[in-house]
Amino acid sequence: MKGLKNKKEKSSSHIPTGTQPHYSSSTNWGDNEYAQVIEGVKKIYKTKIKPLEVTYNFEGFHSAPLTDSDIEAKPMVLLIGQYSTGKTTFIRYLLDKKYPGEHIGVEPTTDRFLAVMNGGEDRIIPGNAAAVNQDLPFRGLNHFGQAFLSRFQVSETPSPVLENMTLIDTPGILAGDKQRIERGYDFTKVIEWFAQRADLILLMFDSYKLDISNEFKMAIHSLRGQEEKIRVVLNKSDMVSQQQLMRVYGAMMWSLGKVVQTPEVMRVYISSFWTEKPSNCFEDCRELIEAESRDLLVDLKELRRNAAIRKVNEIVKRARLAKVHAIIIGHLKKEMPSMFGKKKKQEALLKNLDQEFIKIQNKYHLPAGDFPNPERFRQNLALYDMDKFKSIKEDLLERVDEALAVDLPKLMSRFPMGNPELDKSQINPFAQPDINQEVVKNGQLPSSFWDYSQLDKNSYMPVFQSLHPRDGLVSGANVKPVLENSGLPNDMLAHIWRLADWDSDGYLNSDQFGVALHLIKAVELGAQLPDKLPPSMIPNQMVDTICRTTTSEPDGDNDAIFFKLEYLGYLIGQKLIERFTKDRPRFVDTLDVVKFICKDLWVILFKKQIDNLKTNHRGVYVLQDNGFRWFMRMSTDIGGTDSAKKAMPYVWFPCGIIRGALASLGVPSVVVAEISNLPQCTFQIKITK
């Protein structure tokens, strides 16, 4: 994106060129597939969920029915904070330009809710017009009335960033009765409305505004139920020294701990987004601030990729709430007398609503987390005559159950697994048309240099982790600034990328990233880069080389090679588990662990799942791969016994990987392999504890 790429040239921003993520006007997953999923969501909602909402007046207790524009809306980012914490400046930083309706200053400047959206030209749509526009996702704001709509507007401006998201700028939160009285509308209710529809919520603080007023506390409380969307941004972090920053961070977390009632630690970005960097900034935490700012920008970049999944997730959440709401309403209707004492009974039900919730929960086996806040529900319930409520209609509930159990999971199965394909133009981020690919010949390095074991992992792994890999992979856009720091010309970097990206998928794993840095080191030493990467530089190819050596060795030496390969696999298996399970929920039992090996880990290693899993439920598991990938490259025209003997060394390495992975997950084991008919292979796991 031009704005993000040229940030260093246009201003004195502290974030170096290249740290900002690249934004594309299309989804990484095909736009056609995305549109099909959204159409599926709309159909499921209209036919199976909305009828339940309408029948039991879900709107009166929660929110209005969703429109097509609500479901089709781009990912939405909501910015909340006290005045002058940098909300508007952050939006301007992302867009790299001014936008209609922006006001920046140390005093409370933004006096209205502002939806910043993509458009063909700069223009402002007033709130009343935006709320009746069927193409905009703001029709639900009508029920906040004229007092709010006069303080809401849509700002349209052409921007690549806004092709993938909508940014919601909010007024700075005031202290005292000004927040409640002088605005003329219920500020916290409006915040709650936007929070329910937002994909990401940024709570903005700065190093000089750490106090959380009662009004800000009320706004944060209105975000309950949306905790997974909330990120905290400590902005203007370079306005204090390193020692002061530690104190500021601690004070902010202490203040948040009293307000946010959650056992999990909230993600905090220590960042600083300036359109024009002040001269009195501190530089002692610059590296940390840049890394944290990059984290936040990557989070924003990922919004579009996961938009379809989040849409389905929100519909699932809404369907569960609607189902519980319908059962509550139906239960209260059933409790009402048919003839006399209706008023008295309604008062009793209102008074004992908490106990009624417990009855409903036990009778229908519903999770407590799906029930609304009793006090708030009681306030809404007092406005209605319970005798006029609808009784429970099983057919409506069955439709919602079908949507939750069948339709929505089926829709989820259409989502691509792993990393999405990249455009051809992005496969090699250094590729340029008609460039001279010839590399200067400056001597040779010893053959030992071209061995995978020579990679300096202690040096490159921290750099790799700082790029925030997704599923163990980093894209060309993220790697590009690191490799460019070498100062090598783009044609040479393009050649290095082609060598390191040996599977040509447009991403680098940690091994490939290490190889890329190793190749840069070779050039710096004056060596000529090979046309093809030596097999000994690729971990899998290195195993192949050892295996070929093994089959030519006397039988007596095979044990030593087996232990070498198995132990190498064991170490790699442990590292893989550390990398790919840190954000995964806990495993239920040993069988759950083995299933993870068969599915997730095997896909990472061999691009496929194990074909068959059997167990005697007494600690023995048999994994069968009917087309073991490494066997597919072998010639099988020799006898069966010789083929199995020749193939055997190729399974010692994955045996070690399985054992290492299990050990890392707290499951000690012995793993052996059997080969009957190539390319079939069987791994037997025996749990030893």
What pLDDT does 25 receive? 38
Q: What is the pLDDT of residues 334-389, one digit of tens each?
A: 888 887 888 888 889 888 998 989 999 888 888 888 888 888 888 888 888 888 88
What pLDDT does 485 receive? 80
Residues 262 and 144 in one domain: yes
Residue 568 in this model has a pLDDT that exceeds 50: yes
Q: Higher-confidence residue: 214 or 357? A: 357
What pLDDT does 576 receive? 78
- In sequence order, the β-bridge partners of residue 157 are 118
What pLDDT does 585 receive? 78
Angle at 48 between CA 45 and CA 52, to 5 degrees: 100
Q: Higher-confidence residue: 264 or 170? A: 170
Both tokens assigned to 37:
């999923």
Share of the chain above pLDDT 70, in %: 80
Q: What is the pLDDT of residues 104-126, one digit of tens each?
A: 655 455 578 999 999 888 999 99
- Is residue 88 in some structural domain? yes
What pLDDT does 181 receive? 56
Cα–Cα distances (Å) from 87 to 286, 300, 625, in that order, read 21, 15, 54
Q: How confident is the model at residue 550 (pLDDT cuts 50, 70, 90)?
A: very low
Domain that holds residue 319: 26-72+306-416
Dist. CA 524–CA 448, nearest whole Å: 17
Q: What is the pLDDT of residues 577-626, one digit of tens each?
A: 877 777 777 788 899 999 999 988 888 777 788 999 999 888 899 999 98
Residue 60 in this model has a pLDDT that exceeds 80: yes
- Is residue 214 in some structural domain? yes
- The segment with the largest mean pLDDT, out of 13-17, 51-55, 408-412, is 51-55
Residues 556 and 658 in one domain: yes
Residue 73 in this model has a pLDDT that exceeds 60: yes
Residues 598 and 628 in one domain: yes
Distance of CA 488 to the CA centre of its chain: 33
Mean pLDDT lowest for which of 37-46, 167-176, 197-206? Answer: 167-176
Residues 379 and 238 in one domain: no
- Is residue 561 in some structural domain? yes
Helices first, then strands: H and E counts in the chain:
30, 14
What pLDDT does 544 receive? 52
Residues 126 and 236 in one domain: yes
What pLDDT does 340 receive? 83
Q: What is the pLDDT of residues 255-292, one digit of tens each?
A: 887 787 766 677 888 888 877 777 778 888 888 888 88
Q: How confident is the model at residue 540 (pLDDT cuts 50, 70, 90)?
A: low
Nearest of 96, 86, 80 to residue 20 by alpha carbon:
96
Nearest of 3, 38, 8 to residue 161 by alpha carbon:
3
Q: Higher-confidence residue: 196 or 559? A: 196
- Is residue 21 in some structural domain? no
Strand order of the sheet with strand 200-206? 123-126, 152-157, 113-118, 166-169, 76-81, 200-206, 230-235, 268-270
| DSSP sequence for 363-425 | HHT--GGGSPPHHHHHHHHTTS-GGGSPPP-HHHHHHHHHIIIIIHHHHHTTSPPSSPPPPHH
What pLDDT does 650 receive? 77
Angle at 520 between CA 516 and CA 523, to 5 degrees: 140
Residues 39 and 141 in one domain: no
Residue 442 in this model has a pLDDT that exceeds 80: no
| DSSP sequence for 22-38 | P--SS-SS-HHHHHHHH
- Is residue 2 in some structural domain? no
Mean pLDDT lowest for which of 103-107, 523-527, 528-532? Answer: 103-107
Residues 131 and 157 in one domain: yes
Helix axes 187-197, 214-221, angle to 10 degrees: 40
| Residue whose pair of structure tokens reads 């290195």 in the numeric block | 542
- Is residue 294 in some structural domain? yes
Cα–Cα distances (Å) from 471 to 191, 419, 475, 604, in that order, read 34, 8, 11, 9
Q: Higher-confidence residue: 321 or 104? A: 321
- In sequence order, the β-bridge partners of residue 625 are 681
What pLDDT does 325 receive? 92
Dist. CA 145–CA 133, nearest whole Å: 16
Nearest of 605, 463, 574, 472 to residue 520 by alpha carbon:
463
Residues 612 and 595 in one domain: yes
Q: Higher-confidence residue: 585 or 549? A: 585
SS3 call for 459: helix
Q: Higher-confidence residue: 659 or 36? A: 659
What pLDDT does 422 receive? 47
Cβ atoms of 610 and 661 within 8 Å: the answer is no
**Of 537, 559, 585, which one is at a domain's C-terminal end?**
537
Q: How confident is the model at residue 45 (pLDDT cuts 50, 70, 90)?
A: very high
Residue 78 in this model has a pLDDT that exceeds 90: yes
Q: What is the CATH number of the domain that holds 345?
A: 1.10.268.20
Residue 675 in this model has a pLDDT that exceeds 60: yes
Residue 84 in this model has a pLDDT that exceeds 90: no
A 10 A CB-CB count for 519 gives 26
- In sequence order, the β-bridge partners of residue 682 are 624, 674
- Is residue 17 in some structural domain? no
Dist. CA 518–CA 452, nearest whole Å: 9
Q: What is the CATH number of the domain that holds 102?
A: 3.40.50.300
Q: Higher-confidence residue: 22 or 235? A: 235
Average pLDDT over residues 288-317: 82
**Of 392, 416, 440, which one is at a domain's C-terminal end?**
416
Per-residue buried b or exposed e for 482-499, using 16+ beta carbons within 10 Å of the residue's own CB: bbeebebebbbbbbbbbb
End-to-end C-alpha distance for the chain, whole angstroms = 55
Residues 59 and 208 in one domain: no
Total domain count for the chain?
A: 4
What pLDDT does 658 receive? 92
- Is residue 18 in some structural domain? no
Residues 173 and 246 in one domain: yes
Distance of CA 601 to the CA centre of its chain: 20
Residues 283 and 369 in one domain: no
**Of 416, 433, 458, which one is at a domain's C-terminal end?**
416
| Residue whose pair of structure tokens reads 């490494």 in the numeric block | 630
Q: How confident is the model at residue 322 (pLDDT cuts 50, 70, 90)?
A: very high
Residues 564 and 604 in one domain: yes
Q: What is the CATH number of the domain that holds 651?
A: 3.30.1380.20
